[in-house]
Structure formats: structure tokens, C-alpha cells
């Protein structure tokens, strides 16, 4: 019961090392010591050592066949690593924690762990963050809890938007739509489709936007919704080059109910080329007519 | 009884029984123009009755009753007009013992009667005046509209119409615009409410399975706790009873010790 965490650590290490006098490691005692040491380090703000202690405590719990406690310790270790900005360790720890949660059969905490990791990495390593978000969504979908995946999809799409990869973001919104369809969340589904269409328009890709609108109109729920009406108004306004109408739709209440990133993009919408698009399509028609 | 009284009483009685005086009637009857004067007197009395009714109608407060009375006055006037026509025919007839001047005077009498009849107010002029004020003369009775004159009338009256009704129209447009603005605001609010409500709905749907899971877990935990409590209680009861037993034994031993000490002391 020494109060010095270092001493506890060394004692616990000795307990786990197999020597001639010790044939089997005493994980229980060691784990307890590790946990106490970690608390002591945290209290004295020695985060590096606390992290190490938590890692070892988690290993101990795993050896004792209690994956839940192990996962919890791993998460705490990952949080400390985040504070210390050791990013690859953050990823590793959270992934390990998530695996342990899956071992317990608890999908929600598993995806939560990956979500936390992704959020930590959003600014620093966005690609890894996206990978983490995707994995988290997969875990939830496997478990049949698609509704919880909505937030993750939205966060992932936001990361893509920050990276200005609009088509990828739109793809994620479409995946959101699929997930929403599975759980009959029609409102989220329609909002997701409208967001995708707006993203395509923001990327100047009118054909893709129209294709997307046509595809989504196959779905009854979207066809009858306010969002599809706003989408069709937006597309006709684009086709006619009517900037006023675009602005009006972008500030309507339907659009203002989407994610705030999408609202920002929608407000900036006629991204310059509207009349050019219109003239192009007109020229095409004229050529066809003449020939 | 004074003579004057007798004379008055006789007069009264004569007046009362005048209708039974055949001679007097025959005297009146043989004047020759019985049909004419009879009709004349009857039409006269009818006109008096109509006049009285018209007066009553004009002073009537209840508009529905006034209208009904006016309608009746008009009906009576129409009937009497027919009678006046008949009277006129009678007046022109040549009757024995009648001079030419008398016949002409009869025609004049008939015309005077007809004028009196027309002059009876029957509510039409009043209504027409009101209509004129509102619509500037455009709705005068049809037979008064002559095309040439009405154009001039229309010009003066027309101007008045545009001033008043254009104001009215402006006010109507303004109110309609205000109503439209208000309705727009309401519709925007309703849109926001609808979106909020839908999102809340979906969020609650998300929470439902979580709540069910939590319920099962909490149910399990409560039953575990109940079990533990029961077992703990059993344990405590058992321990206490054994403790009482031990205390009993200890006290017994103490008493035996005291007794043996006293026995030793006595011995």
C-alpha cells in the first residue's frame, strides 16, 4: 500500500514477470496496483506514466478475462494519449478498446470508441478520421442499430466538406439515406438526399445533381416530401439561370433545417457559373435541332 | 226638460235612424248619377284609408313592417287606379238630366282623384333617393334613364363614384396585402414547427429501443438486488441468534466462576 505510484508500478511489474520463484503471474494483484499507480500519476499530472500504467492495467484485465474493464482502461489510456497528442497511439488504443467492446458483444460502445478517435483526429489526420468513422458505422450497421449511425455519417460528411471533397461527402449522405431507409426514418432520408443534391450543385456538377434527383425520386417517401419540391425548384432555377430563385430556395425553411455546413454551402450557392450552364444546354439543343 | 235639449235629442235620434229614411235615400238616389257618385265616394274613402296607412308606414320604426305596409299601400293604389279608370268611363257617359258643364266637371273631379291617388307616398321615392346617393344616379328606375341625358349625368356622378370606391378599393388592397403578409409569417412558423416536430419524432424513435434495453437491464438489476437483500437479512438473523446464544454461554460461565470463587472462599 505504498503511496508512491512508481514503487507500485515496479512492484506490479515484478508480480507479472515470471521467474524461478514465481511460476504464474499474479494478474489480479498486479492489475490493482497498476490502477492505483495510474490514479496516482494522473493526480500528479504525469500523463505519460499514467498512460503506461493504464495500458498495463488493461492488459491485466484482459488476462483476467474481463474485456469490459480492459476496454475501459484502454479508453482512458487513449484519452491521455490524445491529451499528449500522440496520434498513432490514440488510434491504436481506441481501436483496441473497440475490439474489446465487440468481444463483450456491445456494439454501441465499440462504435462510440471509434467515433471518439475519429473526432480527435478530424483536424490532424482527416483521412484516418474518415476511416474510423466508416468502421464505426459498419459496426453499428452489423448490429442493426442504423439509427445511431446517422450522426456518424453526418460527421464523416462534414470532414469531407472541410476537405472540399464534395462528391465524397454527397456519397456519404446517400449512404445515410440508405441507412435511414432501413429504419423508416423518412425525414432524415429526405434531408440526406436534399443535402447530397445541394453538394453536387455546389460542385458545379449539374448533370450529377439531376441524376441524383432522378434516382432519389424513385423512392416514394422522397418524392412526396417538401425536400424533393425544394430540390426540383432549385434544379429548375439552375436550368433557367434564375439567381433570385436560387437564393430564395436556399433561404427557405426546408433548407434551413439541414446541417449547418450544408446551409452555409447553400447560401453561397450560385457558384458563379449559372448562366454559363444555361447557355451551354441551350447551345446543345440548337445544334441538335439544326442537324 | 228644456227645449234645447229636446231639439238636440231629436237630432241625434234622426241621425241615428237616417239610414232607415227611405224617402231621403230615394231623393238622393234620383239625382241620376248614382253609379258615378257612389264610385266616387267609395274611391274617395279608400284614398283616405290609403293615406292614413301610408302615414303609419312612414312613421313605422320596424323596417320590415314598414316595407310590408308600403307594399300593401302600393297594392291598394294599383287597385284604386283601376277603379279610377272605371270612374272616368262612367264620367264620360251621357246620363239623362246631366248638363255638359256637369260632365266636364266630373272629368276634372276624376283627374283630381287620380292625382291624389298618385301622390300617396308608398315608400318608393324614399328608396330611390337613397339609391341615388350611394350609386350616384346610376341605379335610378329604368324608365327614367334616357340615353342622351344619362351620359351627362354619368359624367358628374361617375367622378363621385371613382373617388369613393377607389378609396375603398385601395383600403381593400392594403388590408389584403397585410393579411397576406401575416399569413406568410404564420406559414413560415408552421414550416419550422413541422421540421422540429419531425426531427423530434425521429429522435424519439431512436430512443425507444435504448429505453427498452435499459428497462430489461434495470429489471434484472432490481431482481438481483432483491435476492441479495433477502439473503443478507437471513444471514443477519442467523448471526444474531447465534450471537445471543454465545452471550448466554459466556454469562453462564461468568456466573459459574463467581459461584466457584465464593464456594472456595467459604471453604
Task: Note the pLDDT tens digit of each residue in A44-77.
Answer: 888 888 888 888 888 888 888 888 889 998 999 8
Question: Would you place residue B234 in the very low, low, confident or very high pLDDT band (cuts 50, 70, 90)?
Answer: very high
Q: Taking CB atoms and an 8 Å limit, are A147 and B191 in contact across chains?
A: no
Question: Would you place residue B68 in the very low, low, confident or very high pLDDT band (cuts 50, 70, 90)?
Answer: confident
- Whether the pLDDT of residue A274 is over 80: the answer is no
A147 vs B199, B201, B206: nearest CB: B206
pLDDT at position B40: 83
pLDDT at position A1: 44
**B184 lies within 8 A of chain A by CB:** no
Closest CA to A221 of A263, A254, A192, A261: A192
When pLDDT is averaged across residues B42-68 and rounded to a whole number, the result is 85
Tens-place pLDDT, residues A252-265: 888 888 888 888 88
Q: Taking CB atoms and an 8 Å limit, are A188 and B195 in contact across chains?
A: no
When pLDDT is averaged across residues B78-106 and rounded to a whole number, the result is 80
pLDDT at position B230: 96
pLDDT at position B133: 47
- Whether the pLDDT of residue B131 is over 50: the answer is no
- Which of A175-189, B15-29, B57-71 ranks highest by mean pLDDT? A175-189
Question: Would you place residue A31 in the very low, low, confident or very high pLDDT band (cuts 50, 70, 90)?
Answer: confident
Question: Would you place residue B142 in the very low, low, confident or very high pLDDT band (cuts 50, 70, 90)?
Answer: low
- Which of A198-202, B109-113, B132-136 ranks highest by mean pLDDT? A198-202
pLDDT at position B175: 96
Question: Would you place residue B138 in the very low, low, confident or very high pLDDT band (cuts 50, 70, 90)?
Answer: very low
**A263 lies within 8 A of chain B by CB:** no
Question: Would you place residue B136 in the very low, low, confident or very high pLDDT band (cuts 50, 70, 90)?
Answer: very low
User: Which of A257, A260, A262, A263 should be substituted to probe chain B, the one whose Cβ sees the most B Cβ atoms within 10 Å?
Assistant: A257
pTM beyond cutoff 0.95: no
A253 vs B192, B205, B209: nearest CB: B192
pLDDT at position A25: 78
**B222 lies within 8 A of chain A by CB:** no
pLDDT at position B179: 96
Q: What is the DSSP string of chain A?
A: --S-HHHHHHHHHHHHS--SS-SS--HHHHHHHHHHHHHHHHHTT-HHHHHHHHHHHHHHHHHTT-HHHHHHHHHHHHHHHHHTT-HHHHHHHHHHHHHHHHHHT-HHHHHHHHHHHHHHHTTT-HHHHHHHHHHHHHHHHHHT-HHHHHHHHHHHHHHHHHTT-HHHHHHHHHHHHHHHHHTT-HHHHHHHHHHHHHHHHHTT-HHHHHHHHHHHHTSHHHHTSHHHHHHHHHHHHHHHT-HHHHHHHHTSTTGGGS-HHHHHHHHT-S-S-HHHHHHHHHHHHHHHHH-
Nearest CA in chain A to B196: A257
Distance from the A258 Cα atom to the nearest Cα atom in chain B, whole angstroms = 10
Query: Which residue did the predictor score with more confidence, A223 or B145?
Result: A223
The pLDDT > 90 percentage for chain A reads 4
pLDDT at position B137: 45
- Interface pTM (ipTM) of the complex? 0.77
User: Which of A68, A177, A187 should be substituted to probe chain B, the one whose Cβ sees the most B Cβ atoms within 10 Å?
Assistant: A187
A186-202 vs A166-182: helix crossing angle, rounded to 10? 170
B191 vs A145, A188, A253: nearest CB: A253
- Asked which of A55-59, A139-143, B55-59, B119-123 is least confident by mean pLDDT, the reply is B119-123
Tell me how many residue pairs between chain A and chain B have CB atoms under 8 A apart: 22
Amino acid at each position: 500500500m505504498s503511496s508512491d505510484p512508481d514503487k507500485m508500478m515496479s512492484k506490479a511489474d515484478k508480480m507479472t514477470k515470471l521467474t524461478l520463484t514465481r511460476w504464474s503471474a499474479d494478474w489480479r494483484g498486479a492489475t490493482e496496483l497498476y490502477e492505483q499507480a495510474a490514479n496516482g500519476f494522473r493526480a500528479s499530472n504525469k500523463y505519460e506514466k499514467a498512460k503506461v500504467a493504464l495500458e498495463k492495467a488493461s492488459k491485466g484485465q484482459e488476462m483476467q478475462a474481463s474485456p469490459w474493464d480492459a476496454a475501459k482502461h484502454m479508453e482512458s489510456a487513449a484519452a491521455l494519449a490524445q491529451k499528449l497528442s500522440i496520434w498513432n497511439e490514440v488510434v491504436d488504443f481506441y481501436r483496441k478498446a473497440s475490439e474489446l467492446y465487440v468481444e463483450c458483444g456491445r456494439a454501441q460502445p465499440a462504435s462510440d470508441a471509434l467515433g471518439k478517435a475519429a473526432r480527435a483526429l478530424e483536424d490532424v489526420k482527416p483521412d484516418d478520421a474518415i476511416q474510423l468513422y466508416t468502421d464505426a458505422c459498419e459496426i453499428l450497421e452489423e448490429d442493426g442499430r442504423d439509427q445511431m449511425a446517422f450522426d456518424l455519417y453526418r460527421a464523416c460528411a462534414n470532414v469531407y466538406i472541410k476537405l472540399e471533397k464534395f462528391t465524397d461527402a454527397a456519397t456519404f449522405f446517400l449512404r445515410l439515406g440508405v441507412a435511414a431507409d432501413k429504419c423508416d426514418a423518412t425525414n432524415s432520408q429526405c434531408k440526406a438526399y436534399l443535402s447530397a443534391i445541394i453538394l453536387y450543385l455546389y460542385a458545379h456538377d449539374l448533370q450529377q445533381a439531376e441524376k441524383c434527383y432522378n434516382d432519389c425520386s424513385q423512392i416514394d417517401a422522397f418524392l412526396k416530401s417538401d425536400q424533393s419540391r425544394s430540390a426540383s425548384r432549385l434544379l429548375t432555377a439552375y436550368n433557367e439561370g434564375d439567381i433570385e430563385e436560387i437564393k430564395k430556395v436556399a433561404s427557405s425553411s426546408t433548407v434551413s433545417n439541414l446541417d449547418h455546413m450544408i446551409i452555409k454551402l447553400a447560401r453561397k450557392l450560385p457558384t458563379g457559373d449559372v448562366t454559363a450552364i444555361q447557355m451551354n444546354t441551350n447551345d446543345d439543343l440548337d445544334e441538335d435541332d439544326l442537324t | 226638460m228644456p227645449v234645447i235639449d229636446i231639439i238636440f235629442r231629436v237630432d241625434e235620434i234622426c241621425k241615428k235612424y237616417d239610414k232607415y229614411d227611405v224617402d231621403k235615400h230615394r231623393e238622393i238616389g234620383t239625382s241620376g248619377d248614382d253609379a258615378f257618385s257612389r264610385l266616387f265616394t267609395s274611391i274617395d274613402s279608400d284614398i283616405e284609408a290609403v293615406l292614413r296607412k301610408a302615414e303609419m308606414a312612414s312613421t313605422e320604426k320596424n323596417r320590415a313592417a314598414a316595407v310590408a305596409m308600403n307594399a300593401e299601400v302600393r297594392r291598394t293604389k294599383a287597385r284604386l287606379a283601376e277603379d279610377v279608370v272605371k270612374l272616368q268611363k262612367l264620367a264620360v257617359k251621357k246620363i239623362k238630366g246631366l248638363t255638359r258643364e256637369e260632365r266636364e266637371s266630373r272629368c276634372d273631379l276624376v283627374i283630381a282623384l287620380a292625382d291624389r291617388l298618385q301622390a300617396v307616398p308608398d315608400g318608393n321615392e324614399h328608396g330611390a333617393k337613397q339609391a341615388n346617393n350611394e350609386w350616384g344616379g346610376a341605379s335610378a328606375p329604368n324608365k327614367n334613364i334616357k340615353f342622351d341625358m344619362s351620359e351627362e349625368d354619368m359624367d358628374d356622378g361617375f367622378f363621385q363614384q371613382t373617388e369613393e370606391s377607389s378609396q375603398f378599393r385601395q383600403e381593400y388592397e392594403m388590408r389584403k396585402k397585410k393579411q397576406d403578409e401575416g399569413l406568410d409569417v404564420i406559414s413560415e412558423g408552421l414550416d419550422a414547427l413541422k421540421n422540429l416536430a419531425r426531427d423530434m419524432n425521429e429522435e424519439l424513435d431512436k430512443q425507444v429501443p435504448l429505453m427498452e434495453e435499459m428497462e430489461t437491464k434495470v429489471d434484472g438489476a432490481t431482481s438481483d438486488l432483491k435476492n441479495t437483500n433477502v439473503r443478507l437479512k437471513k444471514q443477519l438473523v442467523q448471526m444474531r441468534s447465534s450471537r445471543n446464544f454465545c452471550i448466554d454461554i459466556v454469562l453462564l460461565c461468568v456466573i459459574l466462576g463467581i459461584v466457584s470463587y465464593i464456594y472456595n472462599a467459604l471453604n
